[in-house]
Each structure stands twice: as structure tokens, then as C-alpha cells.
Amino acid sequence: MSYPSVLPVSEDDNLSCLCPSCLAKRVNTKLGEIYQEYTTNDLIRLAKPYASNTQLVENIDYTMENGYMVFSAWYLLKRGKCCGNGCRNCPYGSLSTKDANNVG
């Protein structure tokens, strides 16, 4: 339940492996597609139900680079607002040109 509910399930889907690692990769790929389709405000609404989940999921909420945790756009969307620290994956104003000027 800590994974975003963004993958439709149909008989045509290849569900050969739903281990946590493979599922996280599929969800992350789908999130990448969603980021291109929706406004930042819509994405915040999508992420809001997951904001209270404090258990971070690798490859969805963060990736590890050189021993450091790098937060994903999904994690930052769950926060609901920009922290102003210039995060690499900051979605506020960068994921959607539709409403880039309307989000703080």
C-alpha cells in the first residue's frame, strides 16, 4: 500500500514479476509518464493520500547515489510544497509548464 496506485491492471499486462524491486521500477516508469501529462497541482493531489506514509520506498521515493539518498519527484510531491533548497528532482515549476508559475 506504500506504492502509488498508478498502474492499471488488465489481462494484457505482463505481471510475470511483482517483487518489490520490479514493481517499484514499473511504478516509477508510469510516474514518469504521468509527470508529463498532468499539472503540478494535479500531481500534488495525486500524491497527497501517500503523504502520511513515512516508510520510504527505494526507486520510488529515492535512489542511492554515491552513498547519498536522492529524493525523487514523487517524494517531493508528497511533501506538498517546494522547500526552496534547489532539490535536483524538484517538481514545482519544472514538471509541468501548464502551471509552473502558480506553484510556490
- Domain assignment present for residue 52? The answer is yes
99 vs 12: which has the higher pLDDT: 12
Q: Could you read off the pLDDT of 11-50 as tens digits, one per residue?
A: 555 666 778 888 888 888 889 999 999 998 999 999 999 9
Residue 57 CA, distance from chain mean position = 11
Domain count, the chain: 1
3: cell is: 506504492
pTM above 0.85, yes or no: no
- Domain assignment present for residue 6? The answer is no
- Domain assignment present for residue 3? The answer is no
Helices (H), 38-102: 40-47, 73-79
- Domain assignment present for residue 35? The answer is yes
Q: Which amino acid is at 2?
A: S
Helix axes 40-47, 20-37, angle to 10 degrees: 150
- Domain assignment present for residue 15? The answer is no
Q: Could you read off the pLDDT of 58-97 as tens digits, one per residue?
A: 989 999 999 999 999 999 999 988 888 888 999 986 444 4
Q: Which amino acid is at 95?
A: L
Strand partners, 50: none
Range of the domain at 69: 20-102
